[in-house]
Amino acid sequence: MSKLKGLGVALVTPFNEDLSVDLDSLTKLVEFNIENGTNYLVVLGTTAEAATLSENEKKTVIEHIIKVNDKRLPLVLGIGGNNTLEVKKQIEETDLSAFDAILSVSPYYNRPNQEGLYQHYKALAETGKQIIIYNVPSRTGQNVEASTTVRLAKEFPNLFMIKEAAPSINQYFDILRQKPENFSLVSGDDEYTLPVTLAGGDGVISVIGQAYPKEFSTMVQLAFDGKVKEAYEIHNKLVEITRLIFAEGNPAGIKTILAEMGILKNFVRLPLVIASSGLQEKIKAEMVGI
C-alpha cells in the first residue's frame, strides 16, 4: 500500500448558505489538491463533518469525489463508529471498488479498554478489507496504546497503517520502533508531520494540507529525501497557521482559509459554528506571510 504515502488530505464538505452540500466548491477543492501535489484524498473523515451528513448526502459526496477525481489520486474512505458490529457491516456492504483503504476511527464514547480496542479492530480486520487504524484520543476519549497498535499490526496484515494522533509524540516513536516492516504510520497531527516523517513515518493525513498542498507535500518529500533544513523552513512558515486553524475546533479554521482563497463559502453545520471574527482576522493576517 505504498501509494498511500506523502500528503493525504482529509477533505472538508463545503456547504451553501442554506447548508446544503455545495458540489461546485467540492469540485474546486478536489481539483486544487490534485493540481498542487496532494498524494491521496480522504473522503468523509471527521474534517468532512461526516457526523452531520445524512446517508444520502454521504452517498452524493462519495460519488461526486470519485467522479471528479477520475482515478487520478488514490482514495481513502472514512467508515468508523462505536458499534463494532455496525461498522463491520458497513464495511462489508459498501462498494469499495474506487477506494484503496478504509480509515476507521477507534470507538468513541464507550471508552473500551485496550483489549476491547484490540477486539474491535480484530473484528474489522475479519472483513479482509485494507484498513487504516485511526487513533485520536482528543476526540474519542480513549488512547489506542502503542502496544495495542503493534499487536494488531503483527497479527492482521490488512490493518496495514495507523493514522496516529496521540497527544504525546513519544507514542509515534514507540510504534515506529516496534512495528513490523510492512506496517505504515502517518501523522494525524499536522504539527507533528515533519518530526514523525523524519523518524520513519510515511507522511500525514492532513487538514491544513488541503489549503497549502504544494507547500505541505514539498515539506514531506524533503523529509523523505533527508533535506532536514529545507523541510523545517516550510514547517516553520506553516506552524502558526496550523495552530490557529484548530483553536476553535475543526473544520471551522480550515474553512476560513479556504473561503478566503475563494475555494468555498464559509459555512459549517451545527453543533459547530464558524470561527469567531477575532480568530478569522488572525488567520487572514497569518495567510499574508505564506
Cβ burial of 127 (10 Å; 0-12, 13-18, 19+) is: middle
With respect to residue 115, please indicate whether it lies within any of the assigned structural domains. yes
What is the rounded CA–CA span in Å between residue 16 and residue 4? 31
Give the domain CATH number at 90: 3.20.20.70
- Which residues, 6+ apart, have CB-to-CB distance to 276 below 8 Å? 248
HEC readout, 73-136: CCEEEECCCCCHHHHHHHHHHCCCCCCCEEEEECCCCCCCCHHHHHHHHHHHHCCCCCEEEEEC
With respect to residue 284, please indicate whether it lies within any of the assigned structural domains. no
Cβ atoms of 252 and 273 within 8 Å: the answer is yes
What is the rounded CA–CA span in Å between residue 226 and residue 206? 21
47 annotated among ligand-binding-site residues: yes
Amino acid code (one letter) for 78:
G
Cβ burial of 221 (10 Å; 0-12, 13-18, 19+) is: middle
Q: Is 282 a catalytic residue?
A: no
Place of cell 466548491: 25
Residues in the chain: 290
With respect to residue 275, please indicate whether it lies within any of the assigned structural domains. no
The whole domain housing 109 covers: 6-226
With respect to residue 163, please indicate whether it lies within any of the assigned structural domains. yes
Q: Is 89 a catalytic residue?
A: no
pTM: 0.98
pLDDT at 62: 98
With respect to residue 254, please indicate whether it lies within any of the assigned structural domains. no
With respect to residue 257, please indicate whether it lies within any of the assigned structural domains. no
Percent of all residues in the chain with a pLDDT value above 90, rounded to a whole number? 99
Cβ burial of 70 (10 Å; 0-12, 13-18, 19+) is: exposed
Q: Catalytic: which of 5, 28, 58, 163?
A: 163
Cβ burial of 270 (10 Å; 0-12, 13-18, 19+) is: exposed
234 annotated among ligand-binding-site residues: no
With respect to residue 266, please indicate whether it lies within any of the assigned structural domains. no
Q: Which residues of 145-176 are buried (b: 16+ CB within 10 A; e: fewer)?
A: bbebbbbbbeebeebbbbbbbbeebebbbbbb
User: How many domains does the chain fold into?
Assistant: 1
Asked whether residue 1 carries a pLDDT value surpassing 80, the answer given is no
Strand partners, 43: 77
Is residue 3 very low, low, confident or very high in pLDDT (cuts 50, 70, 90)? confident
Q: Catalytic: which of 40, 118, 121, 134?
A: 134
DSSP 232-246: HHHHHHHHHHHHHHT
Average pLDDT over residues 17-40: 98
pLDDT in tens, 246-288: 999 999 999 999 999 999 999 999 999 999 999 999 999 999 9
Taking alpha carbons only, the member of 290, 192, 211, 209 closest to residue 256 is 211
pLDDT in tens, 207-247: 999 999 999 999 999 999 999 999 999 999 999 999 999 99
pLDDT in tens, 141-182: 999 999 999 999 999 999 999 999 999 999 999 999 999 999
Average pLDDT over residues 60-72: 98
Asked whether residue 2 carries a pLDDT value surpassing 70, the answer given is no
With respect to residue 274, please indicate whether it lies within any of the assigned structural domains. no
- CA torsion, ordered 89, 108, 252, 284, to nearest 10 deg: -120
Strand partners, 29: none
Average pLDDT over residues 64-70: 98
